[in-house]
A and B are shown apart, each in its own frame.
Chain A
Amino acid sequence: MEEILRVEGLCKTFTLSKKQQKIERTKSKQKVAVDNLTFTANRGEIFGLLGPNGAGKTTTLRMLATLIKPDKGDAWVDGCSIVAQPEKVRAKIGFLTSELKLEDFFTPNYLFDFFSNLHQVDPSVMAERKKSMFERFGIDKFAEVKVKDLSTGMKQKVSLVISLVHNPDIIIFDEPTNGLDVLTARTVTDYLQELRAEGKTIILSTHIFSLVEKLCDRVGIIINGKLTHCDTLQAICDGLSLEDRFFEIYKENEDLTI
């Protein structure tokens, strides 16, 4: 399979404020969020980063999306370095997280055009893509309704569509079903499978076992910033359920101190 993402020795350390030190219950002023992460993802596969809260999944994805810079290491998205060519990387990826919000003053129609322009999408392609995406997610009836007047589920669908205006080859989703109602969550997971069928690569982070079992071709298990396992589900689980195997791995690595 063709490799489309290569991550090599990615490291990220944050400096903690006194308030954060209290929350983290630590006296250390530094927190290693990601420690020497190395993995690859192939074209047309769904790669899942599985780990508990605070394991470093979101930090990893934010580095891949070039929102934050790694302290050490690099990653190449379709041959472009996240350190040296951040604009090129951003042109190749679609990034969606609950942190990213849409300006609620605008309509889905306006936002689609606006983000398409920022991604330099050809106007004729943009119109066609908007039509099909809006129909696919039922946004067409709300295309001229301001985001602030949309339901939460519809807002999330609009966010998903906006993140994919440029039809990227790599889609990075941080907790894709987090906070979604069951109907929207189903729509999203179905769409991710459709995207895989189209040959897109999806990197997602989650702590939901069923989601990994349903979607992911390969999984990286991340605990305390370190990637402990990275393989296909079958290879990792070795006959056990993912949940049981994860807790085994977690116990094995409980003493992982950073």
Chain B
Amino acid sequence: MKINNTLTIIKKEFTRFFSDRSMVFTTVIMPGLLIYIIYSLMGDNMSESNFTVEATEPTTVYVENLPPSILPLFDSIPMNIVTHDIVSEDIMKQLGDKENNIAYMIFPENFDSLVANYVPASETLAPNIKIFYNSVNDGSSMTYHMLDGALNAYEDSYCNRFDVNRYDDADSPSFDQSDESEVISNVLSQLIPMLLLMLLFSGCMAVGPASIAGEKERGTIATLLVTPMKRSQLALGKIISLSVFATLSGLSSFIGIILSLPKMFHADELNMDTNLYSASEYILLLLVLLSTVLVLISVISNLSAIAKDVKQASTINIPVSLMMIVVGMMPMIMGGATENPTLYLIPFYNSVMAMTAVMAHEATVLTLVLTICSNLVYAGLGAWILTKLFDSEKVMFGK
């Protein structure tokens, strides 16, 4: 009888959820789709702004005291050099306007001889080249960086005695001996757990308050409470079904992230391997996710049961969302997962750390078992509290 009633509640919640196309779309399909679109667009945008040079008019660079020896350095830089009739004040005024694609370079007089006679060990300052530019103007900024790069390279070559890490030919091995996938895993392990936790929280918030506080608000929960069903069966049925919906929402977001990552990192352009994790690591991640959803949904369900309506439930849950952000940032702050097993007993923190460890290929059996088991205990405790709340006339019928 116990299982029957819990199953009846689960079936009803499933029917309610999956029969409502708009709810399925907004909770399950839309998060993943939006993440995929947004991250892909972000990747494209980053690609355009960081890796490609927009075709703009060549920058006009006013140069004072241009030494002829330097001129060949600038051959490869698309710019128009002006060396005559320079009025410093006028140019500086023009530079203040972001619309003007210009730069202003001042060499010391007799630059070549100054450089030739300069003794690095002496206490006198080295000859200084000044380049004024406007960083808001793309052309001006880009030209500055190219000039800076060319001049620094020239400076290096001037007293070049040896090289460090020079690639002599295309077949030279990489000097960075770290595994490329490890580098990516390390980045992902600090970034993804926070995203996942936030997405799971959003998934839980999409279904939790509406199912508990919403039923209270509409008066439909009282209709359930006058049936012979035990309060614990109602609590269990609600928590299990809501966890499934929240997990689906979280999975949708997760798939959205995984599919959009290659686009975000331009994996195809950089010949990057995106198969970073094994099937067993994905399963471990899923187990941690499921146990986390159970804890999260039990917390949100309890807070929603206390609330009078959905609006109040959303407000009460705001501190939980802030907590999720702080806890989610822990791997970034700490630079990875903790190795202290006792810390894997702290709810939410343990989930983030366990996810970080799995994604950095550093998970241990002990920490994973501690995380999953403690989460199940917390979820059980949450279900017990929810049972008590369903049994409390003050909470259920208080005005």
* Contact across chains for A100 and B16 when beta carbons are under 8 A apart: no
* Contact across chains for A100 and B227 when beta carbons are under 8 A apart: no
**Which A residue's beta carbon lies closest to that of B217?**
A101
A100: which B residues are within 8 A, CB to CB? 219, 222-223, 226
* A147 CB to nearest B CB, Å: 10
Comparing B4-12, B33-41, B184-192, the segment that makes contact with chain A is B4-12
* Contact across chains for A67 and B226 when beta carbons are under 8 A apart: yes
In the assembled complex, B69 has its CB within 8 A of some CB on chain A: no
Known: A69-B393, A103-B218, A114-B8. A90 touches B227 (CB 8 A): yes
* Contact across chains for B228 and A118 when beta carbons are under 8 A apart: yes
In the assembled complex, A191 has its CB within 8 A of some CB on chain B: no
In the assembled complex, B160 has its CB within 8 A of some CB on chain A: no
The one of B1, B20, B218, B397 that contacts A67, using a Cβ cutoff of 8 Å? B397
Known: A110-B15, A118-B8, A120-B1. A101 touches B228 (CB 8 A): no
Known: A88-B228, A90-B227, A117-B4. A103 touches B397 (CB 8 A): no
A87 to B215, CA, bound (A): 21
Which chain B residues in 379-399 approach chain A with CB under 8 Å? Answer: 393, 396-397, 399
In the assembled complex, B229 has its CB within 8 A of some CB on chain A: yes
In the assembled complex, B361 has its CB within 8 A of some CB on chain A: no
The one of B16, B219, B224 that contacts A99, using a Cβ cutoff of 8 Å? B219
B397: which A residues are within 8 A, CB to CB? 62, 67-68
* Contact across chains for B219 and A90 when beta carbons are under 8 A apart: no
* A132 CB to nearest B CB, Å: 21
A131: which B residues are within 8 A, CB to CB? none
The one of A17, A20, A69, A117 that contacts B8, using a Cβ cutoff of 8 Å? A117
A93: which B residues are within 8 A, CB to CB? 226
Which chain B residues in 204-218 approach chain A with CB under 8 Å? Answer: 215, 218
A246 to B5, CA, bound (A): 45
* Contact across chains for B227 and A115 when beta carbons are under 8 A apart: yes
The one of B15, B20, B218, B227 that contacts A101, using a Cβ cutoff of 8 Å? B218
B122: which A residues are within 8 A, CB to CB? none
Interface string of B172-215 (1 = CB under 8 A from A): 00000000000000000000000000000000000000000001
B52: which A residues are within 8 A, CB to CB? none
A91 to B1, CA, bound (A): 13
A47: which B residues are within 8 A, CB to CB? none
**Which B residue's beta carbon lies closest to that of A97?**
B222
B266: which A residues are within 8 A, CB to CB? none
A62: which B residues are within 8 A, CB to CB? 397
Which chain A residues in 82-102 approach chain B with CB under 8 Å? Answer: 87-88, 90-91, 93, 95, 99-102
Question: In the complex, which range does the number of interface residues on chain A fall in?
Answer: 20 to 34
Known: A118-B8, A118-B228, A120-B228. A105 touches B223 (CB 8 A): no
In the assembled complex, A209 has its CB within 8 A of some CB on chain B: no
Known: A67-B222, A99-B222, A118-B5. A105 touches B19 (CB 8 A): yes
The one of A65, A103, A104, A118 that contacts B229, using a Cβ cutoff of 8 Å? A118
* Contact across chains for A101 and B19 when beta carbons are under 8 A apart: no
**Which B residue's beta carbon lies closest to that of A89?**
B228
The one of B15, B19, B218, B227 that contacts A118, using a Cβ cutoff of 8 Å? B227
* B371 CB to nearest A CB, Å: 36
Interface SS of chain B: helix, strand, loop or mixed?
A: helix
* Contact across chains for B222 and A114 when beta carbons are under 8 A apart: no
A87 to B2, CA, bound (A): 12
A114 to B399, CA, bound (A): 29
A117: which B residues are within 8 A, CB to CB? 4-5, 8
In the assembled complex, B225 has its CB within 8 A of some CB on chain A: yes
B230: which A residues are within 8 A, CB to CB? 87
Which chain B residues in 132-185 approach chain A with CB under 8 Å? Answer: none
A90 to B226, CA, bound (A): 6
In the assembled complex, A119 has its CB within 8 A of some CB on chain B: yes
* B129 CB to nearest A CB, Å: 74
In the assembled complex, B65 has its CB within 8 A of some CB on chain A: no
A163 to B227, CA, bound (A): 9
A247: which B residues are within 8 A, CB to CB? none
* Contact across chains for B219 and A101 when beta carbons are under 8 A apart: yes
* Contact across chains for A102 and B223 when beta carbons are under 8 A apart: yes
* A144 CB to nearest B CB, Å: 13
B229: which A residues are within 8 A, CB to CB? 87, 118
A162: which B residues are within 8 A, CB to CB? 223
* B119 CB to nearest A CB, Å: 86
* Contact across chains for A68 and B393 when beta carbons are under 8 A apart: yes
Interface centre among B20, B222, B223, by most chain A C-beta atoms within 10 angstroms, is B223
A162 to B223, CA, bound (A): 10
A118: which B residues are within 8 A, CB to CB? 5, 8, 224, 227-229
* Contact across chains for A102 and B393 when beta carbons are under 8 A apart: no
A102 to B224, CA, bound (A): 9
* Contact across chains for A20 and B222 when beta carbons are under 8 A apart: no
* Contact across chains for B227 and A119 when beta carbons are under 8 A apart: yes
Interface string of A53-88 (1 = CB under 8 A from B): 000000000100111110000000000000000011
A119 to B4, CA, bound (A): 10
B224: which A residues are within 8 A, CB to CB? 118
**A interface list, Cβ under 8 A from B:** 17, 20, 62, 65-69, 87-88, 90-91, 93, 95, 99-106, 110, 114-115, 117-120, 162-163
Other A-B pairs beyond A106-B16, A114-B8, 20, CB < 8 Å: A65-B226, A67-B393, A67-B396, A90-B226, A90-B228, A99-B219, A100-B222, A100-B223, A100-B226, A101-B220, A101-B223, A102-B220, A102-B223, A103-B16, A114-B12, A118-B8, A118-B224, A118-B227, A120-B4, A162-B223
Of all A-B residue pairs in the complex, the 8 with the closest CB atoms, nearest first, are A101-B219, A91-B228, A68-B393, A118-B227, A100-B223, A90-B228, A117-B8, A95-B226
**B interface list, Cβ under 8 A from A:** 1, 4-5, 8, 12, 15-16, 19-20, 215, 218-220, 222-230, 393, 396-397, 399
Sample (24) of A-B pairs whose CB atoms are under 8 Å apart: A65-B226, A66-B226, A67-B225, A67-B393, A67-B396, A69-B393, A87-B230, A90-B226, A90-B227, A90-B228, A95-B226, A99-B219, A100-B219, A100-B223, A102-B220, A102-B223, A103-B16, A103-B215, A105-B19, A115-B227, A118-B227, A119-B227, A119-B228, A120-B4
